[in-house]
Amino acid sequence: EAKRHGRGTCTFFTAEAAQRVQERLGIESDLRCALKAREFGVHYQPKVSLRDGRVVGAEALVRWHHPERGPVPPGKFIPVAEEAGLIPDIGLFVLERALEEIGALVARGHDLAVAVNVSVLQLEDPTFARTVEDRLAAAGIPPRCLELEITETVAMRESEIIQGHIARLRMLGVRFSIDDFGTGYSNLAMLARSPIDALKLDRSLVDGVAGSNEQQTIVRTILSLAASLGFETVVEGVETDADLRFLIAEGATTAQGYLFSPPVPIDTFRTFLEPGRLQELWARSGGAARR
């Protein structure tokens, strides 16, 4: 009985694993054509200042619309693109598109910064900083309007190439943040020395924080650590008024999450720049009082 059960389980997993491998290979070969076929796009998720409720920028997030599969979530294809060495091309596409679209709004007088995710493969390329500089110049956008999101492990890497890119770009005015903070194992001494501007608290810490004493302790600790190290804080994945209220009261700098908006096409993002559009949510959750 146990044996049969065991064998059955084994067969089940093998079939499933085989299917996963198939899917992955399919994604990889389709990814190779997707850039040329213009199947990628960029969506923007507004970032709201918790000091005044203003939209201060957006995170640029890649979108892939596959002709047969439909929309493929980044969680499914970014890891494949990284392993297949395709991420630098995708990353460059996102950077160019984001600078072009947000740059057009900056040129019209909006004070905005766009955050772009950068993977380690891009930063290991000796030409990365130069490429970013060229693209900023081409877009005619001030470097302080660009923020690059890196992971904890990348920020802690003692690689001369990576640290060189970060130093050079920060000197220009480009900002750096650590994405998904709180999911890795940060070395606090290294964090203190990290040449970064902001910590983005991971959604897993933020979501439901109003109802969990344990999360509140963790979030408070990170916010005060960040403040004492001179880092700004971005809270990601804010979905409820209650969570927002807590985060405003605890002094987080900036928020993004479905409460304000999911990632949207640039035309929709533009409508969030009308005065007061998202400010109402902020004021309702105690933002006006904090001010």
Q: Choose, by CB under 5 A, the member of 101, 147, 152, 179 that binds Mg ion.
A: 179
Check if the beta carbon of residue 132 is closer than 8 Å to that of residue 150.
Answer: no
Q: Choose, by CB under 6 A, the member of 53, 57, 182, 237 that binds ligand C2E.
A: 237
CB nearer to ligand C2E: give 13 or 235. 235
Site for ligand C2E in 160-189 (CB under 6 A): 179-180
Site for Mg ion in 134-153 (CB under 5 A): 149
CB nearer to Mg ion: give 53 or 182. 182
Stretch that binds ligand C2E, among 4-12, 15-23, 237-245, 274-282 (CB under 6 A): 237-245
Token pair for residue 71? 């929309």
Report in angstroms how near the CB of residue 199 gets to ligand C2E at its nearest.
13
What are the angstrom distances between the C-alpha of 216 and each of 59, 205, 213? 25, 8, 5
Stretch that binds Mg ion, among 98-106, 121-129, 167-175, 229-237 (CB under 5 A): 229-237
Number of residues that bind Mg ion (CB under 5 A): 5
Check if the beta carbon of residue 154 is closer than 8 Å to that of residue 123.
Answer: yes
Check if the beta carbon of residue 208 is closer than 8 Å to that of residue 247.
Answer: no
Q: Which residues touch 67 (CB under 8 Å, ≥6 apart)?
A: 37, 39
Report in angstroms how near the CB of residue 86 gets to ligand C2E at its nearest.
11
Report in angstroms how near the CB of residue 82 gets to ligand C2E at its nearest.
8
Tokens 């970064």 locate to: 196
Torsion angles phi and psi, residue 289, rounded to 5:
-65, -40
Q: What track of x and - describes contact with ligand C2E for positions 21 through 60 (by CB under 6 A)?
A: ------------------------x---------------
- DSSP for 35-80, please give it: TTTT-EEEEEEEEEETTT--EEEEEEEEEEEETTTEEE-HHHHHHH
> For strand 55-66 and strand 70-72, is the pairing parallel, antiparallel, or unpaired?
antiparallel
CA-nearest of 43, 80, 79 to 63 is: 43
Q: Which residues bind Mg ion (CB under 5 A)?
A: 117, 149, 179-180, 236
Q: Which residues bind ligand C2E (CB under 6 A)?
A: 45, 61-62, 73-75, 78, 87, 91, 94, 117, 119, 149, 179-180, 203, 236-239, 256-258, 262-263
